[in-house]
Structure 1
Amino acid sequence: MNLEYYSSAALVTSVVVYLLAMTAHAAEWAAARKAPAEEQVEARELVGAGSRSSSRGAGASGAGAKGAGADGVETSAEAAVEQRMAEMKVELWGRIGVALTVVGFLCSILGTALRGIGAGRPPWGNMFEFTITAMVLIVAVYLVMVWRTGARWLGLPVTLLAAVGNGLAVTVFYVAVAPLVPALHSVWFVIHICAAAVSGAAFNVGGLLTVLFLIRQRVEKRGTVGGYLSRIPTARKLDLYAYRFMAFAFPLWTFTVAAGAIWAEYAWGRYWGWDPKETWALVTWVVYACYLHARSTAGWRGTRAAVIALIGVASFWFNFVGINLLVSGLHSYAGV
């Protein structure tokens, strides 16, 4: 057994732990369905206060009214106990989900680091290695958000993405450790891949926020926001958060394309050759440029902008996975 074996074992462990974290967050969402929404909690508190006032007023009128008031107070107390129990379940499952996510994150870091040490180079030489690195960055962004803003509501989609990403990496994309091909022996390769990984993580988090925005917006239009959806930010805030992630990632993706062109000149003697990978990277750049342009000049908000953002995420993943698997070109070494 060597470092490559232990790397794979750590990554497989991360998939299992991420699945458990996803299950815990799913239980958190399910438990929140039984817990009253914030609006219902406030209404119950008002009813309880009214019942207590009625009880005090009825005390001077007679024993019958006093008994009725006592019943109102008892009902309010039972509702409060029920609310507290439901909240405790939601909090418990949420904390378990975050704790498991941290464990999965540490396993993923360990697996990625051991892969790099075993290969004697940065672990970014093929699609398998780029995938596990991207998953580390996506989960890292989520955990920072939980730490800084309490964004635990993003746990379910993030753990789902991490489990699927690492799962595909260790089953479909896996390749044995091998030396880099000559085209990758360049400092611009490292710069290009680092920028691509960071921008890709930001694009994906923005995409997850966009999906939540569409779900929340649809529920808000119906007029009733209940369950766990009542605990996530409003549709307007989710739209803003997604936009900020996209706006952060776009300049990095621009730099990624530019660095890739410089690297191509070093490796193949030309800056741009309309290789399928290069072409689709440009397509992805154009889609996100349209998204940012539409928001800043045409004032697009809401569904129309969200659709463009999701097209951008789909374009990113097709460039990363589809081109590698379906099309041959100068970047074919990055395939499986």
Structure 2
Amino acid sequence: MPVNQTLANFSDLSFKTAFVIYCFALILSIVFYVKQTGVVDSRVKAKELVGAGGPNVVEVPSDSDFARREASAEKFAGMAQTMIWLAIIIHGASVVLRGLSASRFPFGNLYEYVAMVTFVAMVISAWVIQRRELRAMWPWVLTPVIALLFYGGMKLYAASAPVVPALQSFWFPIHVSTVSIGAGIGLISGMASLLYVLRMRQPVGKEHGVLGAVLRPLPSAQRLDSLAYKAAIWALPIFGLGVMLGAIWAESAWGRFWGWDPKETISLVTWMLYAAYLHARATSGWKNSAAAWINIAAFATMVFNLFFINMVVSGLHSYAGLN
């Protein structure tokens, strides 16, 4: 079936527009982050002054002063949140138009897969991080997403076209969409675990040095760990289901459920790491920080599978569309 070039062009334009809006949202979220850092610093200094009898010498900011500063910071948080939702809508339009342009599901190459995974990650992030106490996480979430979109648009881009014959299957949209959703949730879980590890070294109220100043607005380590755990609870079964559906498809396409193809193998390793993380996280003998490293390893393995296996290693899943 011929490609509708008009829809393909609109998809490309939507992708670029979403990327630009995400960048503006990142700038706004950084401004909020800096302002929120100032608010936290002021509160800490005020407590130190009060504890040392400071009010007799230096005027300590009142609660209304702190409220005014927080309100100023929240304005930028609200603007960032609005920009993010706008970018998500345009990002989603890019994915849908890409599929409509070729009359197929938009998972036919690595460029489309990156667009889909980042879209899922942003939808879930926007739903979770809209809570006030988590808004400081936006710069940490937007940065890797923008980096993925930039790399996808610059290095992985492939023109809209029908998929190769091997992907023309009933199982194609089911398998890839399930894996994409699991990977998107895994991205959130991995980032939360990474921030948790950093926060454990810089507890709330005890931050020190340059790293402490950078991490000060973030939620507590307990809240970050809880977010990582809850996201992994969803990522494990969804990603595992995607692997199972891929095995069923492999049996119908290649006459076997499993062949230790590089992508199959690394996907299984990733799923096992998520299972190990949840097991360690729920076992009393494990420290949460040690379990978090397993989750970070799962995230790193997923990224390795996404790029290195698709782009460097030759296998039955070499459909990156870069040639």
Same fold (TM over 0.5): yes
Alpha-carbon distance, 1:37 to partner: 4.9
Task: Write out per-residue CA displacement over residues 147-169 of structure 1, whole angstroms, 9 at most, x where no aligned residue.
Answer: 46763222112221221122122
- Counterpart of 1:140 in structure 2 is 123
Match of 1:10 among 11, 14, 37: 14
How far does residue 42 in structure 1 lie from its aligned partner after superposition? Answer: 7.9
2:270 maps to 1:270: no
Judged with a 3 Å threshold, the aligned counterparts in structure 2 of structure 1 residues 310 and 335 are, in CA distance, closer, same or farther, namely farther
- Kept after mapping to 1: 8 A contact 2:40/2:217: no
Q: Distance in 1 between matches of 2:318 and 2:275?
A: 27
For 2:40, what is the secondary structure of its paired residue?
Answer: coil
Aligned match of 1:19 in 7, 23, 44? 23
Equivalence for 1:217: 200
Name the residue aligned to 2:225.
Answer: 239
- What is the CA deviation profile of residues 54-92 of structure 1, one whole-angstrom value per residue up to 9, with x for unaligned ones? xxxxxxxxxxxxxx8xx98xx35x555643443233112
CA–CA separation in structure 2 for the residues paired with 1:118 and 1:209: 36
2: distance between equivalents of 1:298 and 1:135? 34
**Which structure carries more helix by proportion?**
1
Shift in alpha-carbon separation, 1:97–1:147, aligned structure 2, 3 A: closer
- Please tell me whether residue 86 in structure 1 is matched to residue 69 in structure 2: yes
Kept in 1, the 8 Å contact 2:114–2:149? The answer is yes
CA 1:84 to 1:126, structure 2 compared with 1: closer, same or farther past 3 Å?
same
1:113 counterpart SS class: helix
Report the Cα offset of residue 132 of structure 1: 0.6
Out of 147, 150, 155, which is 1:164 matched to? 147
Deviates more, 1:32-41 or 1:281-290: 32-41
| 1:38-53 paired onto structure 2 within 5 Å | 40=44, 43=47
Unpaired runs of 5+ residues, structure 1, are: 52-67
- 100-109 or 148-157, which moves further after superposition? 148-157
Contact 1:18–1:160 (8 Å) recurs in 2: no
Question: For the Cα contact (< 8 Å) 2:204–2:216, is it kept in 1?
Answer: no
Letter of the 1:334 partner, please give it.
A
AA partner of residue 170 (structure 1) = G
Comparing 152-161 with 255-264, greater Cα deviation is found at 152-161
Q: Please tell me the residue identity of whatever aligns with 2:300.
A: A
Larger radius of gyration: 1
TM-score (structure 2 length as normaliser): 0.87
What RMSD over aligned residues (CA atoms) do the two structures have, in Å?
2.8
Distance 1:227 1:83, change over 3 A: farther
Q: Which one-letter code corresponds to 1:22 in the other structure?
A: L
Q: TM-score, normalised by structure 1?
A: 0.84
1:334 to 302, 306, 320: 320
Provide Cα deviations, 1:229-271, integer angstroms capped at 9, x if missing partner.
4554321221122111112111112211111111111111211
1:108 equivalent in structure 2: 91
Tell me the equivalent position of 1:58.
none
User: Is 1:33 equivalent to 2:37 in the alignment?
Assistant: yes
Which letter does structure 2 place at the counterpart of 1:101? I
Q: Which residue of 1 aligns with 2:159?
A: 176
CA distance in 2, matches of 1:221, 1:98: 25
Residue 187 of structure 1, aligned match among 170, 189, 195: 170
Q: Distance in 2 between matches of 1:286 and 1:81?
A: 51
Q: Distance in 2 between matches of 1:276 and 1:182?
A: 21
Q: Distance in 2 between matches of 1:127 and 1:92?
A: 37
Which one of 290, 293, 300 corresponds to residue 279 of structure 2? 293
Residue 304 of structure 2 aligns to a residue whose secondary structure is helix
Deviation at 1:334, TM superposition (A): 3.1
Equivalents in 2 of 1:38, 1:167: separation in Å? 37
CA displacement, residues 27-70 of structure 1 (integer Å, 9 cap, x when unaligned): 111122322359548849979xx97xxxxxxxxxxxxxxxx8xx
Measured after TM superposition, the shift of residue 209 of structure 1 is: 0.9
- AA aligned to 2:144 is L
Equivalent position of 2:245 in the other structure? 259
Contact persistence 1:32–1:227 (CA under 8 A): no
2:135 match? 152
Change (3 A) 1:209 1:178: same
On the 8 A contact 2:311/2:320 being kept in 1, the answer is: no
Measured at CA, do residues 221 and 267 of structure 1 come closer, stay the same or move farther in structure 2, by a change above 3 Å? same
1:316 is aligned to 302
CA distance in 1, matches of 2:128, 2:28: 19
Aligned to 1:305: 291
The one-letter code matched in structure 1 to 2:264 is E
Moved more, 270-279 or 142-151: 142-151
With 105-114 and 300-309 compared, the bigger mean Cα shift is at 300-309
